[in-house]
Amino acid sequence: MKHSQSKSIFDFYGKPSFGKALPLSLQHILAMIMGAVTPPLIVAGVAGANAQETMMLVQVALLFSGLSTMLQLYPVGRFGSGMPTIFGVGFAYVPSLIAIGGAYGIPGILGAQVAGGIAMIIVGIFIKKIRHLFPPVVAGTVVLVIGLSLYDIAIKYMAGSGNMAAEGFGSGQNWLVGLTTLAVVLCCSQFAKGYLRLAAIIVGILVGYIMAFSFGMVSFDKIADAPWVTLPAPFALGIEFHMSAVISMVVICVVNSVQTIGDLSATAVGGMGREMKDNELSGGLIGNGACTLIGSIFGGLPTASFSQNVGIVAMTKVISRYILGIAGIFMVLAGLLPKFGAAMTTIPYPVLGGATIIVFGMITMTGIQLLVKDELSSRNITIAALSVAMAMGINAVPEAIALLPDTARMLIGSPVIVAATMAFTMNMLLPKKSLQDEAREREQIERDMNGEDTPVADTAQKKEMTTQATN
């Protein structure tokens, strides 16, 4: 009864008025819609899809982004986390989808995705028993790399496009719109008060959109070309199973589950000020796996948590599932009524880049928050430092892995997967040592160098007694 009466936007069960909720929901919609639409467009181009198949991929991506989000907000049994989070077609899968699509087409992707969805569900079922394998040093490193790996996307968007070869990329006009949008978001979030401060991102996007429109940067052609209503049909794009594709997809889905663990943990820490519960984590992974599995039947690509929306939650502390639910419903409608989705894609790239770069920065800082929950021992610093260095280093020099086999390139080409794999492996292999253990080791080394025979334990005890006496 208490939950149903709450109207607070800072309460997960809070239900504010629709007028107050809508602008806050739009922030999440605008932050994620291009992320949901771009992967199917990229995959369609690589897989040689025609215009109708491309439209179908985009439509189903929007539909299942909405359904996946609603399942996380309003769990059904063990399916869903019950956390203020947005899910949708994930960028992290794109390198693998490109490789599989280039070799086996869209049917090959969808067949491999069936196995990937099942793998996610299995991870979710057993996560309570293996959660100790993903301590803050692992989850925090993954979230940190997620934030760092998104910066180039925001900068490319501010410069004019996700494609550096696009006409006008890097022009002064694009940067003016992008920086103006960023400045408005920054000013509203830091200097405004009350509701305006919480709606900083949507205000920035509105200002940037108006400026871009005045410069002739907004096109409404996509709205005119999009149909009013279309319904997805099962197996309309076909489905095929190829062993190499299945293996690659299973590995990526399992590793990408660490990103979901990181995002959900970041949501709990950054937005709710607490740790994730086992049942929330398990439900989030199982729900995501179910949506990925069912989505493959209709032509939807793999879903994942959206890190940019995690950043919004961490920045605003707005966790009402009613607000995020409006965003989920809109995505469902956008998938069924393509003209609505097409209208959202009229937002120019510089506006999106200017509005989201600060959000990506928040994701990075949330990763650091998670990292420092574990003591910064030499062991933990080594795990985080080496994982970040390898992940971002390979990401910065993709030519370094150009001669590797396709499957290896699919895995190593994702900085999130590299960071997750390295952090997980090193956490398992490196001996567990606390700051106190490392201090004792240094003390013993110093004693050995000085030829002293006093046991470390005795010296540590003497120091403790001296400290107590001083106090």
**Structural domain boundaries in the chain:** 2-376
Residue type, 161: S
DSSP 439: H
DSSP strand E in 320-375: where? none
| pLDDT profile of the chain (471 residues), mean per 10 | 69 88 84 76 76 81 93 93 88 74 88 94 89 84 83 86 78 94 91 77 88 90 80 88 85 79 84 85 94 93 84 84 92 85 77 83 82 86 94 88 79 79 91 83 82 56 50 48
In this prediction, residue 4 carries a pLDDT of 53
Instruction: Report the pLDDT value the prediction gives residue 463, as an integer from 0 to 100.
Output: 52
First CA to last CA across the chain, in angstroms?
52
Tally of CB atoms within 10 A around 112? 30
CA distance 35 to 90: 7
d(Cα 161, Cα 171) in Å, to the nearest integer?
11
Q: Decide: 302 and 289 in contact? Cβ < 8 Å.
A: no
Q: Are strands 87-89 and 303-305 parallel, antiparallel or unpaired?
A: antiparallel
What is the C-alpha to C-alpha distance for residues 407 and 254, in angstroms, rounded to an integer? Answer: 15
Give the whole-angstrom CA distance, residue 174 versus residue 162: 13
Per-residue pLDDT at 200: 81
Please, how many CA atoms are within 13 Å of residue 154, restricted to the half-sphere of its CB? 21
pLDDT at 184: 94
Measured CA to CA, the distance from residue 191 to residue 312 in angstroms comes to 17
5: nearest Cα among 322, 460, 374: 322
